[in-house]
Structure 1
């Protein structure tokens, strides 16, 4: 959908629309209008017109020429204004038409940037809608299960056995995880979070991070291999970093066939003062065109052709956010072995 004025001139109809600068276009317009006014005034005076008649007529003609030319020059600005008003009212599908985006001057650059921004806002709005639907579903499931379990116990239908209580505990864990996701989203929206920086052994840290993931992996029989040198000390917020690696490793497990291996290897880059960690999901690959998209908020990966992985679509974006809080990066890199998430973190935290 585009907004525009059918009476506005298209770029091909603007005699001075080929310049790469709006200042040059305006300067050219002033020169043309002034030259026409001068020639017209000279001619009218030459043929005997009174100056009191020639000057007003000349000014009117100059103003008419200026208005006609400037209307075509500023048409995209009116389109951008109308589109911005539509977006303010909640319509993110509006775009400035292609004629405006093909201009070579600053207005053309503005039109192209506006369309890119509108596309990003439309994507974000759709992802938010999807996230609300996903969160509602994710909340409804454990809440319904908890309600049924507690009602059955209250009515005496079931007994509060250890197995039943464990089921209630598992559902509360699901709720806690979802609430943690939402809190992390609010922190990302705020753009910052406080860090509790401490020194720790990186190998021990990864062991502690992987252990609950191995337990949760259940009957999928994934082989999680750790290749981390002993005595590798770093500084950072363990809770945030555990969040980072839990999401990255959990993502690798989720997208690995049962019985396959996931490698976690780390090394110190002494030249740059960083610790480089690679989480390799053997056998699978990520399309290079999709590598940046998977880190966007609310974007969910595929577990198979035409199927989504479920969840909130926040895990990888939270991982990148946690890395950035430490001055690090998370990216997917080329690796013949499989999908490789490379995490680069400064060894020592600098405030």
Structure 2
């Protein structure tokens, strides 16, 4: 029971760290990009990952965690895939309207559920599907403003959905199959994610913004916000791997939509962004969906634990019965031997 309580506290801690760091970096990046005019999101992400790797390298040298050797081919492909998914998401935002980009992010949950059902034989109850549906409807109402379709943007959105879903599913399965922690996997894969974005980032940003990241005039305040963004990103990247490893890709996506609702709320209270009754209704529906999802997941988790305990108890009972049976057979053989000996003695 103590181990289970510790695990639940660890999950809650990971969820809180993910929400707090993600909301913080959104506010920081919004100030950097909107107020200070630094629009190079993909290049900034590559810097985030490089700083994350350097921080983890120092932590590993100081023995905060142990580096575990894993299959490098798997890690390299995994790192490149995650880097490509970030690039596709940024391109999708550049070639689509805000509304269609939000639809792209919403589509990640049903696609993840579909992939896990088809390829990992994972079952989702009707109650969980209903709660996810409510969540998606709420976030859609709160955040989607317009839907403008175009061929290039649609293709990029589909590629972004596919690579993001596969990358997040692999984050969970690699940690479990290779028996590595979230820190170890992030440490191994971060250099490859950073490399693919460091090379492609300036070209992607040039395509989206028509500006050159190397020609930008970096003032002290811009550099200060970039450094702050990179430091917060260490926590964001770590908590992402931690949450997916401890829960599931679907739970992480649900958490992501909670962040969307919080960002909308913070934008209204701190930045005085436009906020309508539709936003409020959408956020309330989304929160209801998240609460129901958490509740149903908790119930199913407890049922699974009870089932595992019951199975373990049955196995133990069978082993005990077998042991007692063996003892009874031995006792019967001993009694039979003593009877035969007694009969023999009486004949003598």
Same fold (TM over 0.5): no
Q: Which has the higher strand share?
A: 1
Structure with max Cα Rg: 1
Q: Which has the higher helix share?
A: 2
The structure showing larger relative contact order (alpha-carbon pairs under 8 Å, at least 6 residues apart) is 2
When the two structures are superposed, what TM-score results if normalisation uses the length of structure 1? 0.21
